[in-house]
Amino acid sequence: MSLKIAHSPCPNDTFIFHAWSHGLISGAPELDVTFADIHLTSKWVSESTYDLLKISSAALPIAQAAGYQLVPAGGAVGHNNGPLLLSRSAATTPADLIGASLAIPSLNSTAYRLARKWLAENLPEGFGKVTEVVFSDIMPAIVKGDFDAGLVIHEARFTYPRYGLHQIVDLGQWWEAKTGLPVPLGAIVARDDVVERYGIQTLAQWCADSVNYAWKHPEASRSYVAENADDMDEDVQRAHIDLYVNEFSADLGPEGRAAFDALLAN
């Protein structure tokens, strides 16, 4: 019996799940993969259609309310990998953002949750209009002047200088300095009936086995990663994987769980 999973086509996810989705993990059921960005998968939990989903960590309470559980492997948690707040001008300061228009990848994204926590301490006056924009369209929209600033995620961390944009704040660095914890960006969740059938630890082990296979055989997933990487060059693909795939991908562990608790605390 196959399991339906939805995750992004980004290099970290295709790298992590290549082995499992290609039948290389002994004892694991087949994966029926749907590619969708995290702003969609974070909404799809309410439909209960997928057995497994990669969602934004900030959407975990929504997933749990919809009958999903956190799988402690396969996600995106780490250091120096948080979202960036960008603008067109290198002279932009946080104070310049009072009442500004902001593009975000999703209201339920970790990026926006971190931004709201940062705002509470650094810009209590807040932004003006906040608009959800598909993450790949955020930087072009800032360049065109549609927004004063934008929150960017994924490979934009490496590519934003190409657009002539400038960093106002690295929300990951701010978070780590404040909490001493890694940034919990994305999570794998499994529907309750799937957990009952296989067990949460078994699901986590299959994720971990897939990660470990990818690390042991880095060439095996190269073409799969490239063909789904949205025109990234190979150097960006590799940097993306190196940044977002780490020890927390194989085992969330106590530190990773503490990061989730801190992110989701009011």
Q: Are strands 166-170 and 183-191 parallel, antiparallel or unpaired?
A: unpaired
Catalytic residue ranges: 154
Contact (Cβ atoms closer than 8 angstroms) between residue 102 and residue 70: no
Q: What letter would DSSP give residue 138?
A: H
* Residue 133: exposure state from Cβ atoms within 10 A (0-12, 13-18, ≥19): buried
Neighbours of 55 (CB within 10 A): 29
Q: Which amino acid is present at 160?
A: Y
**d(C-alpha 59, C-alpha 154), whole Å:** 17
Give start and end residues of each alpha helix (H) in the chain: 11-21, 38-44, 60-65, 110-122, 135-144, 156-159, 171-179, 192-198, 200-216, 222-227, 234-244, 247-250, 253-264
